[in-house]
Amino acid sequence: MPISFNWSETIAGLPGNPVPADWLATRGEGVKVAYIDRGVNLGMASMEHLNLPGHKFFTGAPGFSVAKLTGQDLVGETFGTEGRGHGTLYASLLAGRIPAVAPADKDVVGGLANAAEYFIIKARNANDKKTTIRNILDAIELAGNLKADVVIIGQSISKAQLSFEGLTTAAIDRVFGLPAVQRMAIFAPLKNLEPSDPWNNIAADNIPNLRSEVINVARLPVNFESVSGIILPQNISFMLSSFSGKLLTKNGNAADMEFSNSGAVAIMGGIAVLAVSHFKQQNGGATPSRAQLLQMLGSCCTPLPNASGSQSEPALFRNF
């Protein structure tokens, strides 16, 4: 039997209802969102509304140009016999729509902020085999040129890659110094962790996490008590725990969410889109400053030092 899952209902039902109902009701309307990942399958019933001219880009496409907004592409996530994809999973959490008449034989997922205007940016190299730091920088600069309000990035790349790509920190400084980039709220996940990783310098080892301008989000480690002294001083704004639900795979099937840092950034980024939408509606279309947005999001969360103990229910934490 086909699966239908709604992320708005999941967030609305969080313990203590931390996300205001009037934020949820906006569904992100009036907000421009750049979603940067490894592509999205836009052929599914829940995703086809995103298949719009001028809203799909591929950094590895022939003729791609940040300035000219060229290099548009179907941005489909590469199909194969293995894996569930990545970009499609979290795009469905953010932007999926359940059709008024759901197909009788297809799984559907309703996203948290599916009334926002989405720009899908596939940050991959020309042969679609790898994401580079240059791809990420191009995607962020493109998002600025598209006048995005919120940027949600599903990837982070080791800064050790800089020298292999012939890049310097000046190239990164240039992109993040652009006025159009500075006005955006940029959310990114920390790298997904191996069980043995002690979280040492996790926010400093990757691009774009290296940047203080980026709002870093991660799942809460199971062993928070033993690593809290490492996490608390770092540039990690939000941490989430114990979320579960259904996501659409690149092949069109709904699957259980494997909660990861990418899932955490999609959830918190989606909540940010709702907050920006509500702020705009209350302030004549003005966009909140970074400080205002962080204050709004912080109102949904528990201070991170309170994260000790078992987290058996979904929860949102802040580290500022």
Query: Domain segments of the chain: what residues?
Result: 14-78+113-242+264-318
Using one digit for the tens of pLDDT, what is the confidence trace for 287-312? 999 999 999 999 999 999 999 887 88
pLDDT confidence tier of residue 73, bands split at 50, 70 and 90: low
Beta strands in the chain (DSSP E): 4-6, 32-37, 56-58, 108-110, 117-122, 150-153, 157-158, 185-189, 206-207, 215-219, 238-241, 246-248, 254-256, 302-303, 315-318
Q: Does residue 292 sit in helix, strand or coil?
A: helix
At 225 the pLDDT is 87
Q: What is the model's pTM?
A: 0.95
Pairing type for strands 238-241 and 315-318 reads: antiparallel
* Minimum mean pLDDT range among 57-61, 111-115, 146-150, 203-207: 203-207
Looking at the domain that runs over 14-78+113-242+264-318, which CATH code has it been given? 3.40.50.200
Q: Does residue 261 sit in helix, strand or coil?
A: helix
At 12 the pLDDT is 97
Using one digit for the tens of pLDDT, what is the confidence trace for 201-226? 677 788 999 899 999 999 998 888 88
At 200 the pLDDT is 67
